Amino acid sequence: MPHDPDLPPAKKFKPGSVFFRLEKNKPGMLLPRKGNVTTPIEVQRKQLPIYHARTRLVNELRQLHNAIVIGETGSGKTTQIPQYLFEAGIGRQGLIAITQPRRVAAISLAARVSEEKRTQLGKLVGYTVRFEDVTSPETKLKFMTDGMLLREAIGDPMLLRYTVVVLDEAHERTVHTDVLFGVVKSAQRRRRELNKIPLKVIVMSATMDVDLFSEYFNKSPVLYLEGRQHPIQIYYTKQPQSDYLQAALVSVFQIHQEAPQSHDILVFMTGQEEIEALARTCRDIAKHLPDSCGPMVVIPLYASLPPAQQLRVFQPAPKGCRKVILATNIAETSVTISGIKYVIDTGMVKAKRFNPGESGLEVLAVQRVSKAQAWQRAGRAGREDAGFCYRLYTEQEFDNLIPTTVPEIQRCNLAGVMLQLMALGIPDVMNFDFMSKPSPEAVRSAVEHLELLGAVERKDAQVLLTALGKRMASFPLEPRYAKTILLSADFSCSEEILSIVSLLSVDTVLFNPSARRDEVLAARKKFTSSEGDHMTLLNIYRAFKKVGGNKEWCRENFVNSRNMGLVKDVQAQLREICLKLNLKLESCGADTGNVRRCLAHGMFINAAELQPDGSYLALDTHQAVAIHPSSVLFQAKPAYVVFNELLHTSRCYMRDLCLVDADWLLDAAPEYFGRKLHLTRS
């Protein structure tokens, strides 16, 4: 097994297999290396592997109505193909949409492509993501999240503004991508039937098994791009690791001490909280290392990071300084970061899990990645040169991973999807043309969920959208949040509910540095409400607005001022939707009882009851759950709560709780609680 002479493999790792090379390096074809930022952008475009296939690719794509394009991450698919189409005059009668599963990718790609075209972002090249639209009448290349294109389809089911839709990152199989597959396919067919301008559909992806896709998209041809992948040496741990965070920390510093300073490290982790925590630990330790070690800059990367912060990962580190990027699976394929030589793969990912049979509630769980994901992660180290991947699990654990990730549509609560499909006017949602069908139980449970919320009703074996359901579909939110907002007018507390829903729509507005725990607790105390986390958040938000978003105040109170700024934007947009729906917008002032009543009415499906032994039972599914230690109600243990989400780690935790009365739950859904849960009035 060849070793990099610069780096003796760390003692606890043993060498494993080697990633193979798809194409030999050709001199002069290397991507711009780190630090070499002076390469003009036109030259950079020509250095991409895809450039050599340009003419053939354009000729093929001109003729085809459906095409699947497969190529390694970084080969230039996303940034170049839309430009090639545009430059060749393909689809000039309309817009070219390029969908992305993630906001950060849509934004950074639009920025990159507009830079390549030397235009201002939002002119020729723009983007649309939830709560943000940077496009203009001049826009021809539009990067957008798949969720946004789906929303546009509600008003325009044939997607008539577009002549080309590029469904990118198809292998990710997010629930929105999967629904879009069906929506786009049907739009294409209807346009053909009605003799409209044809819609070209291009599905793009990193390496994957394409048969399913090709079959689904009318036996569409597959165009393979030759990639450039350098050998990657894989290391496994000798022993299973009980604490992957600790293992990641050790690995980062082992590499930092041994590898040349110019080599950057990318660590795959599961979410914002642990990324921020590890980032702080790394920075602390780095300060105390001997001078021989050289400086290190630690950069977090996760979906909810504000765009400006996300863009930091693309900037080269200062000379002589090592860049350590701590990322979620966002860095698997969505974004290409140059300069990465080392990948550390914890083997874990936070993803949705849903089992309609035993627990009807969707759970966010930290779980093992699939083999396909592990290979994608490893591949990030070999973009520009040979690289290394440290897997923080044993080779046997790798062998036991599932081969590919189950599509999200088969493991999430489908209520939101069903509502959207119905709002799209799909006649028979139960038999929608999904590429991978969700189980009948999952569909049934979603319809039940919507029925409980009053969004749909059954008539002669048909499921129909109600007037309320139609209004709910106007919001780019989960059905229960939409319902809560609509209800808030009846409780005269729309302003408060809008604030709360907006606060819950961004990742977290609180900053909890573990090293300053006592200070955090002291600062938080002023806002803590015995009525729960929603009310605590509302108190913080009210105080934030009172001081006019003052940055100093945010720092003193451990509040994330950027995310708070985002909350304001989200709220403004939700308010606009409310105004369109003629919803009365009022504030309940100090009388916050109504806010909790409203939350109970909107979120009653997520209610839990205290048991005599001090544990909790989720009332919908009779599943044992516990209050997350981060909740302000952790000690208080009220009799009844509603919660926002379940997080499965060592136990099933409820996060973001609100204290409610049993009576309110009964009022919200008398039949449901009476029949199912034997809840009685106090």
Q: Which of residues 60-79 bind Mg ion (CB under 5 A)?
A: 77-78
51 binds, among Mg ion, ligand CDP, none (CB under 5 to 8 A by kind): none
Choice between 37 and 197, CB closer to ligand CDP: 37
Nearest to 480 by CA among 359, 629, 640, 362: 362
108 binds, among ligand CDP, Mg ion, none (CB under 5 to 8 A by kind): ligand CDP
Instruction: Give the DSSP per-residue string, 477-542.
Output: S-HHHHHHHHHHTTTT-HHHHHHHHHHHHSS-SB---GGGHHHHHHHHHTT--TTBHHHHHHHHHH
Task: Out of 66, 75, 502, 557, name the contact with ligand CDP by CB under 6 A.
Answer: 75
Choice between 78 and 606, CB closer to ligand CDP: 78
Minimal distance in Å, beta carbon 87 to Mg ion? 18
Choice between 73 and 557, CB closer to ligand CDP: 73
Nearest to 480 by CA among 494, 465, 496, 501: 501
* 100 near ligand CDP, judged by CB under 6 A: no
* 99 near ligand CDP, judged by CB under 6 A: no
Minimal distance in Å, beta carbon 233 to ligand CDP? 21
Q: Residue 11 corresponds to which tokens in the numbers above?
A: 């003692």
The alpha helices in 117-232, defined as continuous H runs, are 146-155, 175-193, 211-216
Q: Residue 491 corresponds to which tokens in the numbers above?
A: 């409780």
Task: Out of 66, 78, 310, 505, name the contact with ligand CDP by CB under 6 A.
Answer: 78
Q: 340 vs 199, 249, 267, 475, CA distance in Å? A: 38, 17, 10, 40
Which positions ≥6 away from 51 have C-beta within 8 Å? 45, 76, 80
- In degrees, to the nearest 5, what angle opens at C-alpha 381 toward C-alphas 115 and 224? 70
* 73 near ligand CDP, judged by CB under 6 A: yes
Nearest to 98 by CA among 140, 160, 68: 140
* 254 near ligand CDP, judged by CB under 6 A: no
Q: Are 9 and 251 in contact (CB under 8 A)?
A: no
Q: Which of residues 454-473 bind ligand CDP (CB under 6 A)?
A: none
79 binds, among Mg ion, ligand CDP, none (CB under 5 to 8 A by kind): ligand CDP
Minimal distance in Å, beta carbon 262 to Mg ion? 26
Cβ-proximal residue to Mg ion, closest one:
78
Q: Are 114 and 130 in contact (CB under 8 A)?
A: no
* Amino acid of residue 629: P
Choice between 335 and 660, CB closer to ligand CDP: 335
* 70 near ligand CDP, judged by CB under 6 A: no
Choice between 209 and 441, CB closer to ligand CDP: 209
31 binds, among Mg ion, ligand CDP, none (CB under 5 to 8 A by kind): ligand CDP
* 205 near ligand CDP, judged by CB under 6 A: no
Q: Residue 258 corresponds to which tokens in the numbers above?
A: 């041994």
State how far the Cα of 53 lies from the Cα of 332, in Å rounded to an integer: 24
# residues near Mg ion by CB under 5 A? 2
349 binds, among ligand CDP, Mg ion, none (CB under 5 to 8 A by kind): none
* 141 near ligand CDP, judged by CB under 6 A: no
Total Cβ atoms within 10 A of residue 518:
8
Choice between 73 and 536, CB closer to ligand CDP: 73
Q: Residue 117 corresponds to which tokens in the numbers above?
A: 């075209």
Q: Which of residues 75-104 bind Mg ion (CB under 5 A)?
A: 77-78
Q: Are 106 and 143 in contact (CB under 8 A)?
A: yes
* 48 near ligand CDP, judged by CB under 6 A: yes
State how far the Cα of 180 lies from the Cα of 168, in Å rounded to an integer: 11
Choice between 68 and 109, CB closer to ligand CDP: 109
Choice between 229 and 237, CB closer to ligand CDP: 229
Instruction: Give the DSSP per-residue string, 313-360.
Output: GGSPPPTT-EEEEEE-THHHHT---TTEEEEEE--EEEEEEEETTTEE
Minimal distance in Å, beta carbon 115 to Mg ion? 16
Q: Are 463 and 419 in contact (CB under 8 A)?
A: no
Q: x/- string (CB under 6 A) for ligand CDP, residues 333-372?
A: ---x-x----------------------------------
# residues near ligand CDP by CB under 6 A? 17
Q: What is the greatest pairwise CA distance in the chain?
A: 79
Choice between 113 and 267, CB closer to ligand CDP: 113
Residue numbers of the site for ligand CDP (CB under 6 A)?
31, 48, 71, 73-80, 108-109, 112, 314, 336, 338
Residue numbers of the site for Mg ion (CB under 5 A)?
77-78
